[in-house]
Amino acid sequence: MATRKDAAMFSSVLLVLVLLCGPWAGCRAHNITAILERYPEYSLYNSYLTRTKVCDEINAHETVTCLVLDNGAMSTLAAKCPLAAIKNALRLLALLDYFDPPKLHALPSGSTLTSTLLQTTGNEAGNLGFVNITNLRGGRVGFASTAPGSKFDSTYTKSVDKIPYNLSVLAVSAPIVFPGLFDTPTAASSNLTALLEKAGCKTFARLLTTSGVLKVFQDAMDKGLTLFAPMTKRSRRPMRRI
């Protein structure tokens, strides 16, 4: 038979669990990939969230709006961009504020500025990680980067799902881009070959470039890469871990 002491202990444990996992406790309030699994039309976008690990960044934020691309738009993006560039594009589609349809259509005239996951990266691209949200003609809502030369090619299509005031999933017509966004992988591949040459692996670096295998390593770099590279003859430097 349970004693009064046992009942008091059970109540204390229950209270601790409520405090630790309640919505006010800052626990993970959403799982974006699990939510999108219910919508097959966004399966390609969802798969790239997992491949790039942007899903972990989204889930780590208590308040976020995900601008998602359907399979057609995501396929177009994936066809022309390496994984590192896709990762930055997905980060730019994750707004660090809550926007649902009523809030979008209630925006005042002019543009509303909001930050994105790209802005939190701290690298050069992060300086361009802000998005303008603007009410366009005909009741449309457009999204554009704050970078010079950016256009409102991405427009709101529909609301997909939401957890009020924490997560909003909105479909948009196209990715948000700015000049140079997709050039990021070029710098990454240059850095890889430069590291190999500095480590005394010039011949191996040249073979990667001429054979086309460099792109395979380039796509893997964003998730972490350990590369065992043979050194050029007469070089006594140790192998480098990249």
HEC profile for 76-132? HHHHHCCHHHHHHHHHHCEECCCCCHHHHHCCCCCEEEEEEHHHHHCCHHHHHCEEE
Question: What mean pLDDT value characterizes the chain?
Answer: 80
Q: Is 1 helix (H, G, I), strand (E, B) or coil?
A: coil
Residue 131 near residue 114, CB atoms below 8 Å: yes
Residue 170 lies in a domain: yes
The per-residue pLDDT for 139 is 82
Same domain, yes or no, for 113 and 226?
A: no
What dihedral do alpha carbons 69, 73, 46, 222 form, nearest 10°? Answer: -110
Report the alpha-carbon angle 178-180-181, nearest 5: 65
The arithmetic mean of pLDDT across residues 113-123, rounded, is 87
Residue 203 lies in a domain: yes
Same domain, yes or no, for 172 and 185?
A: no
pTM: 0.68
CB neighbourhood size of 138 (10 A): 5
pLDDT band at 43, cuts 50/70/90? very high
Residue 59 lies in a domain: yes
Which two structure tokens, joined as six digits, stand for 76?
């177009």
The per-residue pLDDT for 207 is 77
Listed in order, strand segments (DSSP E) in the chain are 64-68, 94-95, 111-115, 130-135, 141-145, 154-163, 167-172
Same domain, yes or no, for 165 and 203?
A: no
Same domain, yes or no, for 65 and 118?
A: yes
**Higher-pLDDT residue of 190, 182:** 182
Same domain, yes or no, for 187 and 146?
A: no
Same domain, yes or no, for 59 and 96?
A: yes
Same domain, yes or no, for 80 and 187?
A: no
Q: What are 154's strand-pairing partners? A: 143
Same domain, yes or no, for 51 and 147?
A: yes
Express each pLDDT in 83-109 by its tens digit: 989 999 999 999 999 999 999 988 887
Same domain, yes or no, for 214 and 119?
A: no
Report the alpha-carbon angle 110-181-98, nearest 5: 45
Same domain, yes or no, for 46 and 101?
A: yes
Residue 211 lies in a domain: yes
CB neighbourhood size of 69 (10 A): 26
pLDDT at residue 38 above 50?
yes
Domain boundary pick from 179, 196, 227: 179
pLDDT at residue 174 above 90?
yes
Domain count, the chain: 2
Q: What are 162's strand-pairing partners? A: 168
Contacts of 104 (CB under 8 A, 6+ apart): 133, 141, 156, 170
DSSP label of 147: S
Q: Supply the range of the domain harboring residue 118.
A: 27-179
User: Residue 231 half-sphere exposure, CB side, CA atoms within 13 Å?
Assistant: 12
The per-residue pLDDT for 13 is 43
**Higher-pLDDT residue of 7, 33:** 33
The arithmetic mean of pLDDT across residues 34-38, rounded, is 97
